[in-house]
Amino acid sequence: MRKDFSKYLDKEGMIELACELIKKRTVNPPGSEYLTKDIVISSLKEIGAKIEIIEKDKTRPNILGYIGEGKPSIAILAHMDVVPPGNGWLNDPFSPRVKEGKIYGRGAIDNKGPYAAGWAGIKAILKSGLPFKGSIILGAVADEERGSKMGVEYLLERGFSPSFCLIPDSGGIKKAIIGEKGLLQVCFSTQGKSAHGSTPRQGENAIYKMIDFLPFLKRFKFKGEYHPAFDEPTLNLGEIKGGEAPNIVPDRCETILDIRYPLGMSKENLLKQLQELIKKSGAEVEMRVISFNYPHLLKEDDPLISAFRKAGERIKIKMDFGTAGGITVAKNLYFRGISSLSHSPAEENMAHQANEYVKIDNLLFCAQLWAEVIYELLGEKQKHYLHSS
């Protein structure tokens, strides 16, 4: 039987690496991912990786470690920036705690713990001595929480193009995300006329105009067919702004609608339905698009999906594959022709929450699973069945 990667997992090294990364306050904005630079480089040197640093800004490095050469290649890309900690923490979010089988701290699940799991999985492959072709890439990237302009987008502009990419930032312990909805963000605006708050009849209140429209929007649902791998489109009214001061009649009001829509629906049709809603409401509302991207879905016979399925079978778990409304850099990679999916050690959604944590056993599970996935794609098939040492 082929060697079992779980025997080669460096549990203590993985925990230590995750905790050292969590200690660094890489809150985005501004990011300051350079604070993790020495830790990442040290971890990559430990596994013998050739290191490349690609940065648009000295404080926002993207660090890539290459093991092997050429194609095929598979990358694991974890981001080093984190969201602000917010309130409600029982302990300092940047003083990681290991307690009852969990690592607590900002970035534990999103996305520093997963980097440590990727490191442990690759290290296990190397310790096993099993041969592979092509190259393995482990990356610590910047700016994921704010659009990846300094991170994956910049890497792609500079020619980064692995054969396959695993994004350890969505999905769950036994579920990989192979497709993501599209994003359509729309701004609705109303115009009024300013006046003194003591003489409101001399003005025209833009907020009241918006209030006339919002009940129609609250009850609205898109119509149309879509790909069965996705669920229905969602709408979130996430932002509203209007007025300058209580004693001024507001002359403008804006609200922003966030739409996540499935494959099979089009931007043009969605906007047409919203225009019809505005007309139906009778409100004086203007609409403009402020952000947009397409939905995507990997084909069922994609080698990356096959590798995950076979890797799951090898460690005796059944992998599920699905889609999500959230958007990761897997989408950026997909539209550059790079086969990509997301998988993470999450059991429940602790990302961006107070007292964020990751289960150590789940990190170990992912390390083993990802090692198996890598070997399914890069392993020298004729040597798959070496005797265990």
Task: Indicate if the pLDDT at residue 258 is higher than 60.
Answer: yes
**What is the pLDDT at residue 111?**
97
**In this structure, are 339 and 257 located in the same domain?**
no
Same domain, 174 and 196: no
pLDDT in tens, 195-238: 999 999 999 999 999 999 999 999 999 999 999 999 999 999 99
The answer to whether the CB of 216 falls within 8 A of the CB of 226 is no
**Confidence check: pLDDT of 362 > 90:** yes
pLDDT band at 1 (very low <50, low <70, confident <90, very high): low
Of the three residues 293, 317, 333, the one that is the final residue of a domain is 293
- pLDDT, average across residues 102-129: 98
- Asked whether the predicted pLDDT for residue 241 surpasses 70, the reply is yes
Measured CA distances, 93 to 26, 42, 87, 202, 279 (Å): 12, 23, 10, 52, 49
Residue 3: band (very low, low, confident or very high) from pLDDT cuts 50, 70, 90: confident
What is the mean pLDDT of the segment spanning 251-280? 98
Q: How many domains does the chain have?
A: 2
The CATH number assigned to the domain holding 315 equals 3.40.630.10
* Same domain flag for 67 and 135: yes
Q: How far apart are CA 53 and CA 134, in angstroms?
A: 20
Residue 97 lies in a domain: yes
Domain extent for 371: 5-180+296-383
Dist. CA 80–CA 77, nearest whole Å: 10
User: Is 389 part of a structural domain of the chain?
Assistant: no
Instruction: Name the packing angle between helices 303-314 and 360-378 (round to 10°).
Output: 120
**Residues 273, 275, 278, 280, CA torsion sign:** negative
Does pLDDT of 389 surpass 70? no
* Pair (258, 336) in one structural domain: no
The per-residue pLDDT of the chain, averaged, comes to: 95
What pLDDT, on the 0 to 100 scale, is given for residue 251? 97
pLDDT at residue 381 in the model: 60
At 176, the amino acid letter reads A
Task: Say what the pTM is.
Answer: 0.92
CB 152 within 8 A of CB 333: yes
| The dihedral sign for the CA sequence 325, 326, 330, 335 | positive
Give the pLDDT score at 388: 32
How far, CA to CA in Å, does 368 sit from each of 126, 277, 305, 308? 13, 51, 16, 12
Residue 33 and residue 120 in one domain: yes
CA dist., res. 126 & res. 273, Å (int): 55
Distances (CA, A) of 253 to 158, 195, 211, 284: 41, 15, 10, 11
Virtual CA dihedral for 168, 169, 171, 172, nearest 10 degrees?
Answer: 70
* Whether residue 314 sits in one domain with residue 209: no
